[in-house]
Each structure stands twice: as C-alpha cells, then as structure tokens.
Amino acid sequence: MNKEEFVYYLKTLGVTCTKAQLEKLEIYKDFLIKYNTHTNLTAIKEENAIYLKHFYDSLTIAENIKEQNKVLDIGTGAGFPGMVLAIFCENTKFVLLDSNNKKIAFLTELQKKLQLKNVFLIHARAEEYVKNHLEEFDIVTSRAVADLRILLELSLPALKVKGLFIPLKGNIEKELENTQETLDILNGKIIEKKEFVLPKENSFRTILLIEHTKSTDKFYPRSFDKILKKPLVKRK
C-alpha cells in the first residue's frame, strides 16, 4: 500500500488525512526503518507494508476514539496502534504501555520527532500498572499481544464503567470459545464484532468492542504467572 492508496483506503474508514499527518507518518516510517537496523522492533520493514500493516491497520479503530477520551494501549511495542492514533486524534490522551524498555526508548525519541503532546509513555508490566490505575480509562486497546482471556484480565479493570476494550485481532474464533466465563467474572460484554480483510493483501482481521458493564472486583488483575497458569473460573 503506497501513500496514495493509504489515503484512499482511509477514506473508506471515514478517516481524512491532512498533509501534516502524512508528514508525521513519513517521519515515523523512516525512523522505524532506521531504528530497526540496530534494535528489533518489527518484522515488517518495507515501506508499503508499514503503511498497510502498521499505519492503516492501527487506524481501523479510529472511529471509536472520541475527543477527550483517555486511552490505554497495552503492549504498544513500536507504537501500534497507540502512537498512530495519537497523530490523528490530537485532543485525546494516549498512555502507551510496554514492559520492553528498548521499545519505550524508541517511542521516546519518536515522540520528540513528531512533537506529540498527547502521548504519555510508560515502561511497566501491564498487570502492575493497571492495579494502580483501576477504572481510569475510557478505552483500552491492544494489538497482537496475547490471548483474549489474558487481555481481558489486564484490560477490563482499567476501564471506567461503560468504557470499551477494543482488541485488534486476526482470526479470533478459537479464542472466543473459552472467554465467556472470563467476561462474566470481570463484568465485560461483547457488544460488537467487526470482521474484515486488509486491502491489497486480504489478510483477515477482527475488531471486538467489549463494554465494561460494571466495576470489576479489585482482586483483578492477578499476577501475570497466575493469569497464564490459571484461567479464570468462578470462585465459590
């Protein structure tokens, strides 16, 4: 996907792209490619693939981000989707969270280059950060990070009641088979499921909108080893 195609396909999402935003994305792309030569940030290194699989893919949830929202991006990596969304949603506060300090270091330099004032970078483990920021966010998102049940326990406690968890996934059918009890325990409800294919290459994507219906027990999230080893079941 070249830049012209990127702008065209964004319009199909209802997203307009200004010259200033395109310039920021070009800076982003060039810096990502350069930085990736000495620090492993992404396996996607070719310009057109970055526009499609990183930039366009991140913006598929742009319509769900509202002005004055506070958004948490868990496991942001090289800034996807959080940093890309921040370029397009200047009046929204984005907290980009990652446990990999090398990736936070990259994002720190990138933020300076892009001059984004609505981005806050946090180097921490997700479960530890969320424990100290319960019900603080309007939206939590995560892209290609972990199994859905793991993400639910990390994400739902961070949301305000009626807030949305919006994971970006590929084919999610197998993950969905075992999530209902997790949703019930954490007070989450899937209110929308969007399925589509990326333009040009036709790889499958799924976006879920999961509402935090009421406060989650402050017992959650548990330590990460427990999240991994002991899937949520009803406590008696």
Residue 186 is part of a domain; what is its CATH number?
3.40.50.150
Whether pLDDT at 70 is above 50: yes
157 in a domain, yes or no? yes
Residues 6+ apart with CB under 8 A from 124: 97, 99
What percent of the chain has a predicted confidence (pLDDT) above 70? 98
pTM of the full predicted structure? Answer: 0.95
Q: Which of 78, 118, 69 is nearest to 98 (CA)?
A: 78
17 in a domain, yes or no? no
Whether pLDDT at 96 is above 70: yes
31 in a domain, yes or no? no
143 in a domain, yes or no? yes
Q: How do strand 159-169 and strand 204-212 relate by DSSP bridges?
A: antiparallel
Separation of CA 84 from chain center = 10
- How far is it, in rounded angstroms, from Cα 191 to Cα 183? 12
Q: What is the pLDDT of residues 180-226, one digit of tens each?
A: 999 999 999 999 999 999 998 889 999 999 999 999 999 999 999 99
Which residue range(s) make up the domain with 147? 66-229
Give pLDDT, residue 236.
46
146 in a domain, yes or no? yes
88 in a domain, yes or no? yes
> How many independent structural domains does the chain possess?
1
> What are φ and ψ of residue 233, in 5° steps?
-135, 160
CB atoms < 10 A from the CB of 100, how many?
16
Give pLDDT, residue 86.
98
72 in a domain, yes or no? yes
